[in-house]
Structure 1
Amino acid sequence: MLGAILPPLYGQKGSRPNIVIVFTDDQGYQDVGVFGSSLIKTPNLDTMAGNGIKFTDFYSASPVCSPSRAALLTGAYPPRVGVPKVLWPNLEGGLSNQEMTIADMLKAKGYATACIGKWHLGDEAQYLPTQQGFDEYYGIPFSNDMSVNPSAKVSGDIVFREGMTLDSLREKKWRGGKVPLFRQDEIIEYPVDQKTLTQRYTKEALGFIKENKEKPFFLYVAQTMPHIPLYASEAFKGKSERGLYGDVIEELDWSVGQILETLDKLGLAENTLVVFASDNGPWDLKNGHGGSALPLRGHKFSTYEGGMRVPMIAQWKGTIPAGAVCSEVASTIDLFPTIAFLTGGDLPEEIIDGKNIWPLLAGKKKSSPHKRKGFYYFFEETAEAVRQGDWKLRRREGKIELYNLADDISEAHNVAASHPKLVKRMAKMLDDFEAELKADNKRYQ
């Protein structure tokens, strides 16, 4: 049975697959052509779905930034690894470098590793990507509406813009939207020119792929956009029917296209797993700068579907069946154990929550590995909801909601009153899982 779902080159010398993860910031479920967008054009992502698989029921592990990234990289729900909330500049805390990340695991297997883009898992030296398994880092250390850590290490040839100086960088003054650009563990530009970020991230990503084409690599491209404030380069500004937000998404689509084209040209596409997803749902904004989660209910910050169900597309030419669609429940926490399975990597000794979803990616008929124990929706330290099969129970501030997502994807009809036994059972699942997490004292204390 196992042999039937292994990729054809698995285990052969020199055949370990490259891994590329593209993670956008606050992109809505509907903001891709193949997920229903009519105004935003995403030809490269649409083609990627045609060459691979689209997941309709794929979840981030949090409706906000830092926890969702911690979960992706560790395969665990955010409270389990000590990152239940959004991290801020110049404050203590971050993802402990005692936690194993995907990069740690793959680096131990001889992979070249790079993080390009937004980190947001701690801006002090011990929390930066170069201390978390990444050989290379180029990007901003947190969200693009934040400021700068005045104690951060500064490069000797830093570029200052907008009248900033070393003295002004060192001031303990909040300058929202003026964020630093890092290379490795040093600031190289302050504030960064945000309208160039997507282009510069793409250039760095392509350079890394070309430099490491002869050996296995892991490339994590964590795009800054479409987190607000929105910026698009001159090449894309004013081009979309959806305004500036659409311009930003279309530039992100271009970036994905450049990565896929480079893999093709270098003959790497048939040995590279590429995954595209968003870190959580879109902002609920009335000025056109937020995305769309339709037909889902809710937005970023919410444990309704619109806050955590995200667009996900995966491609591995010749291995993942082309044009496939998966409607089983899966999550970013599942990528770590799946990548471990594909690369022969060693999982951490500590508990993780993700499951190997290669059978789903491979297009085999197999139910979600979360079907029995459920998938949990966390807001900060609290498990506010659980999904088991088609049923979802949500409990917040004393209000109990029950939805059948197969019949009611928009969570418009609370049927809790009609199913008291199911409510009781699923509420107990929430209680038991929170208790289990709190008993994981190695991480909680």
Structure 2
Amino acid sequence: MNNILLLVLALFNAMFSVSQEPEVNTPPNVIIIFTDDQGYQDIGCFGSPDIKTPHLDKMAQEGIKLTDFYAAQAVCSASRAGLLTGCYPNRIGIHGAFMPNSRHGLNTSETTIAEMLKAIGYKTGVFGKWHLGDNQMFMPNNQGFDEYFGIPYSNDMWPFHPQQGPIFDFDPLPLFENETIIDTLTNQSSLTTQITERSVDFIKKNKDHPFFLYIAHPQPHVPLFVSDKFKGKSERGLYGDVIMEIDWSVGQILAALKENNLDEDTIVIFTSDNGPWLNYGDHAGCAYPLREGKGTALEGGQREPCIIRYPKRIKPNRVINVPMMAIDILPTIAELTGAKLPDNKIDGKNIWDIWTGGSTISAHEAYYFYYHVNELHGIRYGKWKMYYPHKYRTLNGRKGGTNGLPVEYEYNTMEQIELYDLSKDISETKDVASENPEVIAKIKLLGDKMRLELGDSLKNQKGVGTRPVGKVEN
């Protein structure tokens, strides 16, 4: 009997001899992988029938898949500004896509994710496409990034554009390393590989420091380029080859984290800047089952595939249907790292509880979809998406172009308010505005409130809270 008591006491002491001090959550490394013009369906786990993406599919199994995640706007520069600052792009004066030699860019008075994290000791790097102003004052090294390798704007802004001459007069496309042009590109086939190799080197070099790595792939924006190792590999043609190489790149990043014992302590976020450029046809992505694509506030223009992996703190293999937007990433990273939020007002909110399953309620009462400089086109409110009357571009059922040559868009006009129940009608095929006047009334009140703050040029209503875009004075 005494022996049994002694054994029980020994087991009891063994169970409680471990220190009861609370676990210390060290700040994670942060990696954002941001593609260009990728469609909602262009990943295996989001339903692609003809593009193999084993690394992204595994990443979703080991993390979370966000089905209702939105880009900040449906076009390049504005979307990137929203991601990096946590603001609606029109709050910070950015719309559309900056052209080369623009006198405007992301105002250096704004705080980027890189600046926020650098202030608490993070190493920061961006590899790929910048597109927030190519004047030196707006470039990455002046926006919080220690290292930069890539192109300053979209990869089609070069002399080989199909409309060079009649419409455009682009200079050679420069390749930057920090503030120095190291090459001008005439072929982009090795760019995805170079960006990946630079990113892996950055991880290895900074394995003993917390880091923020922003991988902004220029692909699959046209013109499409892929290395020989993936050429002809996809059932989807060249576009599928490009996505397969991006998937390979994701695999290289995740492997580098494991090799350097950083896997558990790194949050990796994969998404895209806007939907597919549909008039490029067989060189464009697929937003199915969503309506329309890039350049519209409709679902296909801004709802994007999003996958997040953080083994230490995010439980795996979950699908989350709560609406979220790229503007929410900055404040969520601030929560995870203990960084101070920007002094300027931002629009994003901390959505960490949603990622971890602690909440299934959106952090926002509504999300606002602006386009065409400062036109409020749509509002997402719970399961509802309401659109104000506006013009939008479309192919009206026509096929897009072939072999990298686009067809012209047509323009349709919504003549009156339209309302869709996205929980039943993700493709936005049935306008239910007439059946839900109380929902329309509620959303219109929210829209009126936002118009007072950010304006709406459709209503000739100037916002009082919009901050100025950066401008070269001389």
TM-score (norm 2): 0.84
Partner of 2:367: 375
1:335 alignment partner, one of 329, 334, 344: 329
Shift of 1:8: 5.4
- Equivalence map 1:49-198=2 (5 Å): 49-147=60-158, 174-175=169-170, 178-191=172-185, 193-198=187-192
1:241 alignment partner, one of 230, 235, 243: 235
Partner of 1:432: 449
Q: Which moved more, 1:336-345 or 1:392-401?
A: 392-401
AA paired with 1:440?
Answer: G
Partner of 1:224: 218
Three-state SS of the structure 2 residue aligned to 1:277 is strand
Partner of 1:158: none
CA distance in 1, matches of 2:96, 2:334: 27
Structure 1 position 203 matched with structure 2 position 228: no
Shift of 1:415: 1.0
CA contact (8 A) 1:64 1:301 kept: yes
The alpha-carbon distance between structure 1 residues 37 and 348, as it changes in their structure 2 partners (threshold 3 A), is same
CA contact (8 A) 1:66 1:86 kept: yes
AA paired with 1:129?
Answer: P
Partner of 1:301: 295
Partner of 2:353: 359
Partner of 1:413: 430
AA paired with 1:376?
Answer: Y
CA distance in 2, matches of 1:75, 1:286: 30
Partner of 1:40: 51
CA contact (8 A) 1:65 1:120 kept: yes
Shift of 1:147: 3.2
CA contact (8 A) 1:8 1:319 kept: no
The alpha-carbon distance between structure 1 residues 287 and 444, as it changes in their structure 2 partners (threshold 3 A), is closer
Partner of 1:269: 263
Shift of 1:112: 0.3
Cα deviations by residue, 1:380-435 (Å, 9 ceiling, x for unpaired): 31221101100110113343110010011000001112222322331232232022
Could you tell me which runs of 5 or more consecutive residues in structure 2 were left unpaired when the two chains were aligned. Answer: 1-21, 161-167, 391-414, 455-462
CA distance in 2, matches of 1:135, 1:369: 32
CA contact (8 A) 2:63 2:307 kept: yes
Partner of 1:166: none
| Alignment RMSD (CA, Å) | 1.7
1:389 alignment partner, one of 368, 379, 382: 382
CA contact (8 A) 1:281 1:308 kept: yes
AA paired with 2:432?
Answer: V
The alpha-carbon distance between structure 1 residues 216 and 281, as it changes in their structure 2 partners (threshold 3 A), is same
Partner of 1:30: 41
Three-state SS of the structure 2 residue aligned to 1:293 is coil
Shift of 1:124: 0.2
CA contact (8 A) 2:105 2:469 kept: no
CA distance in 2, matches of 1:182, 1:193: 15
Three-state SS of the structure 2 residue aligned to 1:115 is strand
AA paired with 1:90?
Answer: N
Of structures 1 and 2, the larger Rg is shown by 2
Three-state SS of the structure 1 residue aligned to 2:104 is coil
AA paired with 1:111?
Answer: Y
Shift of 1:174: 1.9
Shift of 1:319: 1.4
Three-state SS of the structure 2 residue aligned to 1:46 is helix
Partner of 2:253: 259
Q: Which moved more, 1:294-303 or 1:192-201?
A: 192-201
CA distance in 2, matches of 1:428, 1:84: 25
AA paired with 1:393?
Answer: M
Shift of 1:87: 0.7
Q: Which moved more, 1:48-57 or 1:285-294?
A: 285-294
CA distance in 1, matches of 2:271, 2:301: 13
The alpha-carbon distance between structure 1 residues 252 and 439, as it changes in their structure 2 partners (threshold 3 A), is same
CA contact (8 A) 1:320 1:362 kept: yes
Cα deviations by residue, 1:24-44 (Å, 9 ceiling, x for unpaired): 000000000000001000000
TM-score (norm 1): 0.89
Q: Which moved more, 1:268-277 or 1:188-197?
A: 188-197
The alpha-carbon distance between structure 1 residues 225 and 86, as it changes in their structure 2 partners (threshold 3 A), is same
Identity level (%): 49
CA distance in 1, matches of 2:436, 2:351: 31
Shift of 1:192: 5.1
AA paired with 1:378?
Answer: Y
Shift of 1:442: 4.5
Q: Which moved more, 1:196-205 or 1:425-434?
A: 425-434
Three-state SS of the structure 1 residue aligned to 2:379 is strand
The alpha-carbon distance between structure 1 residues 382 and 287, as it changes in their structure 2 partners (threshold 3 A), is closer
Shift of 1:444: 7.5
Shift of 1:350: 1.4
CA contact (8 A) 1:62 1:280 kept: yes
CA distance in 1, matches of 2:430, 2:337: 44
Partner of 2:410: none
Q: How many residues align?
A: 409
Cα deviations by residue, 1:59-109 (Å, 9 ceiling, x for unpaired): 001010000000000000001111122110012101011100000000000
CA contact (8 A) 1:386 1:392 kept: yes
